[in-house]
A = this chain, B = another copy of it.
Amino acid sequence: MATLIAPSNHSSAEDAEALQKAFKGWGADDKTIIAILGHRNVHQRQQIRKAYEELHQEDLIKRLESEISGDFERAMYRWMLEPADRDAVLANVAIRNGKKDLHVIAEIACVLSAEELLAVRRAYRHRYKRSLEEDLLVGLVSSYRYEGDEINARLAQSEANILHETVKEKKGNYEEAIRILTTRSKTQLVATFNRYRDEHAISISKKLLDNQASDDFYKALHTAIRCINDHKKYYEKVLRNAIKKVGTDEDALSRVVVTRAEKDLRDIKELYYKRNSVHLEDAVAKETSGDYKKFLLTLLGKQD
Q: Is the CB of B144 within 8 A of A262?
A: no
Q: Is the CB of B227 within 8 A of A295?
A: no
Contact of A223 among B70, B106, B144, B300 (CB under 8 A): B106
Closest to A105 in B: B137
Chain B residues near A183: list those with CB within 8 A.
Answer: 144
Contact of A220 among B39, B102, B138 (CB under 8 A): B102
Chain B residues near A108: list those with CB within 8 A.
Answer: 141
Closest to A185 in B: B114
A204-230 CB contacts (< 8 Å) to partner B? 216, 219-220, 223-224, 227-228
Complex: A295 Cα to B33 Cα, angstroms? 9
- Asked if A31 lies at the interface with its beta carbon under 8 angstroms from chain B, I say yes
Q: Is the CB of A292 within 8 A of B106?
A: no
- Asked if A255 lies at the interface with its beta carbon under 8 angstroms from chain B, I say yes
- A60 to chain B: closest CB distance in Å? 16
Check A227/B110 contact, CB under 8 A, given A144-B179, A216-B102, A258-B75: yes
Q: Is the CB of B220 within 8 A of A106?
A: yes
* Oligomer: number of copies: 2
Q: Is the CB of B266 within 8 A of A140?
A: no
- A245 to chain B: closest CB distance in Å? 13
**Which of A82-90, A155-163, A191-199 is the interface stretch?**
A82-90
Check A114/B145 contact, CB under 8 A, given A31-B294, A106-B224, A133-B102: yes
Question: Given A75-B295, A83-B259, list of 15 further CB < 8 A pairs?
Answer: A1-B266, A2-B266, A3-B261, A5-B301, A30-B291, A72-B291, A74-B251, A78-B254, A79-B258, A90-B255, A104-B255, A106-B224, A109-B137, A144-B179, A144-B182
Q: Which residues of A line the B interface, CB within 8 A?
A: 1-5, 30-31, 34-35, 38-39, 41-42, 68, 70-72, 74-76, 78-79, 83, 86-87, 90-91, 99, 102-111, 113-114, 117-118, 121, 133, 136-147, 179, 182-183, 216, 219-220, 223-224, 227-228, 231, 234, 250-251, 254-255, 257-259, 261-267, 269, 288, 290-292, 294-296, 298-301, 303-304
